[in-house]
């Protein structure tokens, strides 16, 4: 008595025997395994800034917790965000940032969507009024203006997708030329968290008459603070 798995795999094996596949599936790794030299941080910062700005994202430069906190508080004011959800201090990569934000009047809301469905629903709904999400980033990709966010303890996925504004604090030294380059350096990256997402700018659609609109389901505003 075979299982569906066995039958499907057997059917595939049978298919492969008869398949008219072009000759190039010969098992050689692709050229993407070659590693070109990495450009300087400054060049990558410029490239990243150009790419993200072209996508209607914003890039800021700062150094030190206080200036980062000032920037974020400023963005919160501009966007009329009184409260935020955020990653924990450690993952933000900016010591004491949460305290600095609190002292500037930005309330941090915590959430817990685990546990029973009723509790989960309530908590998720309470996030509706939160105007700002603050994350760190595992890396920033210069070629696409993308941020690599890895989920984990103190690193919620919802922080970068639920609120209408997303601010990410990234150390400059975490800039990489491309996803391919990052994976060459960290081949096990996909296993680092249940969710590894690359976010390149604000949420967008052009489904209606090819007219570009931002902020469909994800944030309408994305700010990246590059920290020296």
* Residues contacting residue 189 through CB under 8 Å, at least 6 positions apart: 138, 148, 150, 182, 183, 196
Task: Decide if residue 50 touches other proteins (CB under 8 A).
Answer: no
Task: Decide if residue 2 touches other proteins (CB under 8 A).
Answer: no
DSSP bridge pairs for 146: 141
Residue from the set 21, 37, 40, 118 that interacts with other proteins by CB under 8 A: 21
For 55-178, where are the alpha helices, taking DSSP H only? 65-78, 89-92, 97-103, 117-126
Task: Decide if residue 17 touches other proteins (CB under 8 A).
Answer: yes
Size of the site for other proteins (CB under 8 A): 89
Task: Decide if residue 208 touches other proteins (CB under 8 A).
Answer: yes
Binding mask 96-135 for other proteins (x = CB under 8 A): ---------------xxxx--x--xx--xx--x-------
Nearer to other proteins, 1 or 207 (CB): 207
Residue from the set 203, 221, 224, 226 that interacts with other proteins by CB under 8 A: 203
Determine the 3-state secondary structure of 167 from DSSP: strand
Nearer to other proteins, 35 or 99 (CB): 35
Task: Decide if residue 79 touches other proteins (CB under 8 A).
Answer: no
> What's the closest the beta carbon of residue 122 comes to other proteins, in angstroms?
10
Nearer to other proteins, 62 or 224 (CB): 224
> What's the closest the beta carbon of residue 169 comes to other proteins, in angstroms?
18
Q: Are 33 and 198 in contact (CB under 8 A)?
A: no
Residue from the set 63, 185, 213, 228 that interacts with other proteins by CB under 8 A: 213
Count CB atoms within 10 A of the CB of residue 41: 16
Q: How far is CA 67 from the centre of its chain?
A: 22
CA distances 190 to 122, 148, 149, 179, 185, Å, are: 31, 11, 11, 12, 12
Task: Decide if residue 16 touches other proteins (CB under 8 A).
Answer: yes
Residue from the set 64, 105, 129, 153 that interacts with other proteins by CB under 8 A: 153
Sign of CA dihedral 116, 121, 124, 127: negative
Determine the 3-state secondary structure of 29 from DSSP: coil
């Amino acid at each position: 008595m075979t299982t569906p798995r066995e039958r499907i795999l057997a059917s595939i094996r049978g298919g492969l025997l008869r398949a008219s596949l072009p000759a190039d599936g010969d098992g050689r790794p692709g050229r993407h395994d070659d590693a070109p030299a990495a450009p300087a941080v400054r060049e990558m910062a410029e490239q990243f800034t150009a790419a993200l700005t072209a996508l209607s994202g914003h890039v800021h430069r700062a150094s030190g917790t206080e200036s980062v906190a000032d920037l974020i508080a400023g963005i919160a004011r501009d966007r009329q965000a009184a409260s935020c959800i955020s990653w924990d201090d450690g993952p933000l990569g900016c010591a004491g940032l949460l305290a600095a934000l609190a002292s500037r009047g930005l309330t941090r809301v915590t959430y817990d969507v685990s546990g029973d469905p009723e509790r989960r629903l309530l908590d998720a709904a309470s996030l509706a009024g939160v105007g700002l999400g603050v994350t760190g980033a595992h890396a920033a990709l210069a070629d696409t203006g993308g941020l690599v966010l890895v989920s984990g303890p103190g690193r919620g996925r919802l922080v970068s997708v639920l609120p209408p504004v997303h601010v990410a604090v990234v150390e400059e030294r975490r800039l990489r030329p491309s996803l391919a380059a990052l994976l060459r350096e960290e081949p096990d990256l996909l296993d680092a968290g249940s969710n590894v997402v690359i976010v390149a700018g604000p949420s967008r659609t052009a489904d209606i008459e090819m007219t570009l609109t931002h902020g469909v389901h994800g944030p309408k505003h994305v700010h990246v603070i590059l920290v020296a």
